[in-house]
Amino acid sequence: MIDWTLVYDKMEDAKAIAFDTCHKIYVLMDDAQVAKMREYEYDPLYTKDEMSAGEMYETIKHWYAESCMLRFVEAVSTVDGDPNEGFETLIAQGESEYDECYICGEEGCEGECEDDEEEYEDEDED
């Protein structure tokens, strides 16, 4: 299940947020990363001059809800040497907002499968 506090905690220090409009959502932690995402032509890209930390957080939640199933949220900072060390996973790729049902294994079922099973059993008794 997603822990949104990891994203929320990054917003105070974030310089910007960026989205590829499919599944890549980034929290940009420094000006060099903002420049790089502009170079990559990420749009939308919002800076802290355009949105408050709270607005950026809510925007990320909206983007996540609208993304494909490959979605993820990463904080990215510039690191000298190995640029891959600058990535921090906030929400892993494919992570769900819902727990898996202990009965049917589906996400977000919330026990509805049990209700369906009971209805099916009632029909068999007739």
**pLDDT for 33-83, tens place per residue?**
999 999 999 999 999 999 999 999 999 999 999 999 899 999 999 999 988
The 10s digit of each residue's pLDDT in 69-83 is: 899 999 999 999 988
pLDDT at 20: 97
Q: Is 38 left (phi over 0), alpha (psi -120 to 50) or beta?
A: alpha
pLDDT band at 118 (very low <50, low <70, confident <90, very high): low
Domain ranges across the chain: 5-95, 98-126
Residue 87 binned pLDDT confidence (cut-offs 50, 70, 90): very high
For the full predicted model, state whether its pTM sits above 0.85: no
- The C-alpha atoms of residue 11 and residue 70 are separated, in whole angstroms, by 23
